[in-house]
Amino acid sequence: LIYHLPFGNIGFSHCVFPSQVCPNIITRSQWGAAAFIGSPSYLSLPVPYLFIHHTYQPSTPCTTFDQCASDMRSMQHYHQQTNGWSDIGYSFVAGSDGNLYEGRGWNWVGAHTYGYNSKGYGVSFIGDYTSTLPIKSAMDMVRYDFTSCAVNGGRLSSSYSLYGHRQATSTDCPGNSFYHEIQTWEHYQSYLP
């Protein structure tokens, strides 16, 4: 029996500590990102907050890799050339094609939620969710897969708080319908310190 314990433990551990579930993340090079301008700042990990956004523009959800990648390039161009930012502002962007697109990624401070960029990730959904919701598969990808991946990877605090962008500043983001929805998600908090 003693000799069987290590084998038993392997199976048992696998059940208790499930392997990391991560979304399919499309890297910057895969979507054709331009280079970061300047020198990025490191995030101090794990971060305590997760902010949910919608892009508003593009207003139409992308449903293919080609369209989502094109949307990523357009947003990055706008954020860099019009806003004068170093890079696309979001940490990650959810397409409706089953993929999560890397923006500033796990390690770098973003430009998504004024006053809180160094305290959290900003994940945006491509589309305008004022009166409709993202498709369920895209929401589940962020609600479950992204958060478990981030927590298991030591990037997001296991006791993280989830907010809509509008809780941090004067904006409608992530849209009325979507903001109503995320208030039912795990870790949503009404109070933002």
Give the footprint of Zn ion on this chain (CB under 5 A).
Answer: 53, 165, 173
Nearer to Zn ion, 8 or 112 (CB): 112
Q: How far is the CB of 19 from Zn ion (least distance, A)?
A: 32
Q: How far is the CB of 130 from Zn ion (least distance, A)?
A: 12
CB half-sphere exposure, 35, CA atoms < 13 A: 3
CA 43 to CA 56: how far, in whole Å? Answer: 26
- DSSP per-residue codes, the chain: -GGGHHHHHHHHHHHHSPPPP---EEPHHHHTPPPPPS---B--SSEEEEEEEE--SS-SPP-SHHHHHHHHHHHHHIIIIIS--SS-S-SEEE-SSS-EEESSTTTB--SSSTT-TTTEEEEEESS--SSS---HHHHHIIIIIIHHHHHHTTSEEEEEEEEEGGGTSS--TT-HHHHHHHTTSTTB-S---
Q: How far is the CB of 80 from Zn ion (least distance, A)?
A: 18
Nearer to Zn ion, 10 or 119 (CB): 119
Nearer to Zn ion, 65 or 119 (CB): 119
Q: How far is the CB of 148 from Zn ion (least distance, A)?
A: 23
Nearer to Zn ion, 150 or 168 (CB): 168
Q: How far is the CB of 158 from Zn ion (least distance, A)?
A: 25
Nearer to Zn ion, 90 or 106 (CB): 90
**Which residue in the shown chain puts its C-beta closest to Zn ion?**
173
